[in-house]
Chain A
Amino acid sequence: DIQMTQSPSSLSASVGDRVTITCQASQDISNYLNWYQQKPGKAPKLLIYDASNLETGVPSRFSGSGSGTDFTFTISSLQPEDIATYYCQQYDNLPPAFGGGTKVEIK
């Protein structure tokens, strides 16, 4: 099974800061990588698919990049409504695997 290692596990940043989260796959997954946002008590929501494509309706301050084994998720200017936990997910092979999550808080 493919393992997804996400870092950091948590971060605290100020409103307007640039926030970066990384996700590393245990083997080459091409660009088969998605990013989700989960707010407390809510279901996950797709933000980025195929490593770098913004889902319809998602603000452009969110972006993703990478291929192979190393991926990056960025919030260009952190907003108060971005407080959530973010997960990467690979779909190159079954089982679909999620990273451990990154909890983003406001400083």
Chain B
Amino acid sequence: EVQLVESGGGLVQPGGSLRLSCAASGFTFSSYWMHWVRQAPGKGLVWVSRINSDGSSTSYADSVKGRFTISRDNAKNTLYLQMNSLRAEDTAVYYCAREATGTFYLWGQGTLVTVSS
């Protein structure tokens, strides 16, 4: 089955760190650019970060630049998001998404990150 499964979310204090994972299966993970998109409670979708197929190129939203790092392990078919210096406004469901020609064709189920003391 073609799917993406996120994990690693949870409750973290402001200033803390968390690493999200996204396990891919059912397709050739190394062929696709991958993204993280987040959704604060009751709010809309916001793009967070992107990585190309071999991991050599990354991009970030201004709101997370310098704090978040996207990476991937194509041997393990896994995408990561290392989140440092977390703030209350980072509280959201984080989705990983598979992209082709700018379109998000496949999404994971999401993992909730709550930043609170």
Chain A residues with CB under 8 Å of chain B are 32, 34, 36, 38, 42-46, 49-50, 55, 87, 89, 91-92, 94-101
Partner of B108, one of A43, A92, A99: A43
23 contacts between A and B (CB under 8 A): A32-B102, A34-B102, A34-B103, A36-B104, A38-B45, A42-B109, A43-B107, A44-B45, A45-B107, A46-B105, A87-B44, A87-B45, A89-B45, A89-B104, A91-B103, A95-B47, A95-B59, A96-B35, A97-B47, A98-B45, A98-B46, A98-B47, A101-B44
Q: Given the complex, which residues of B lie within 8 Å of A96, measured CB to CB?
A: 35, 47, 50, 102, 104
Is residue B61 within 8 Å, beta carbon to beta carbon, of the partner chain?
yes
User: How many A-B residue pairs lie within 8 Å, measured between CB atoms?
Assistant: 51
Chain B residues with CB under 8 Å of chain A are 35, 44-47, 50, 59, 61, 95, 101-105, 107-110
